[in-house]
Amino acid sequence: MGGPSRVRKAARDAGAQPAIPPGFAVELAELLVALRAEAGLAPNTLLAYRRDLERFFRFAAGRGATRFADVDAALVVDHLGALRADDYAEASVARALAALRVLARHLVQESALRRDPTALVAAPKLARPLPRSIAPSDVAALLAAPGDPRWSPREPWRAERDLALLEVLYASGARVSEAAGLRLDGLDPALGIVRLHGKGGKVRLVPLGARAATALAQWIRTGRRTRPGAARSPHVFLGAGGARLSRAEAWRVVRRAARLAGLRAPASPHALRHSFATHLVEGGADLRAVQELLGHASIRTTEIYTHLDADAVAAVHRLHHPRA
């Protein structure tokens, strides 16, 4: 059950919201256009920026501000404090500050603002949880699930598609949106390589193992051809009606496979991505290579996997050192 602050937050979010001052509205609209055109951000990311900034604008308007030039560091700090008082998680508070920084830097760059009021505001310190990965033996059981007679006895095409999807997710470390959006012209069967379209429109080439390549070829050669409109669709993975496989359906495939495999913890496409990276690092892969395969813009994002590798080394030390 949520506390009083959570109830107030839900009531506020559900109720009518005060209008945003025109000055703020114009600045927000111009920022979203710039982010969409220049940064190539995904629609979900743009929507998150809009929500966070609109929430701040309403707060600032209550303090008499009508445009970002009226905002100072104290107002930003007060807003973050109000979010915490309303029971927002620290990750949400950090994201709200990040959105304000993006807007402030955009306005400074456009000479619409003399100084960035967020520059002296400290970002919340967030814990970096270790990724939840799946043991190799459990991954093997999960990947075998579509071969179970109970999977789709009346729709053999579905078993072929789901096996290919699971194999690709684990073999390439693809995000669920990248796998669902995989196109036929992004495959190179001869080299066993897929072209993945990641965040910000970035494209990367990732090799597939033999098993994933075989499962993918089987699906394209047989099961995919039975889907309505398959000849006209550019996408690899199709649903029952012939439309591109949705991210939600891809999630359901992974979760169902995990249940059928008897995995104790719930699995997800992201867990397969983490498992892909974890197993590479534990096998001795270079961190820079893993960064490229995952499509991380910064090596700092990939460095979290060094903690997993350190844990494995420590375990070996404890088992084999005479004075451990």
Known catalytic residues are 175, 199, 270, 273, 296, 305
What is the rounded CA–CA span in Å between residue 236 and residue 186?
A: 9
Which one-letter DSSP state was computed for residue 219?
H
In DSSP terms, 194 is beta-bridged to: 187, 206
Long-range contacts, stretch 63-68, CB < 8 angstroms, 24+ apart: 65/21, 65/24, 66/21, 66/22, 66/23, 66/24, 67/21, 67/23, 67/24, 67/27, 68/23, 68/24, 68/27, 68/103, 68/104, 68/107, 68/112, 68/113, 68/117
For residue 312, which amino acid is it? A
Check: CB of residue 295 under 8 Å from CB of residue 304.
Answer: no
Q: How many residues does the chain have?
A: 324
The contacts of residue 284 (CB under 8 Å, 6+ apart) are: none
Q: How far is CA 228 from the centre of its chain?
A: 30
Cβ neighbours for 213, distance < 8 A, ≥ 6 positions apart: 189, 192
Residue type at 108 in one-letter notation: V
* Inter-axis angle of helices 247-261 and 156-172, nearest 10: 90
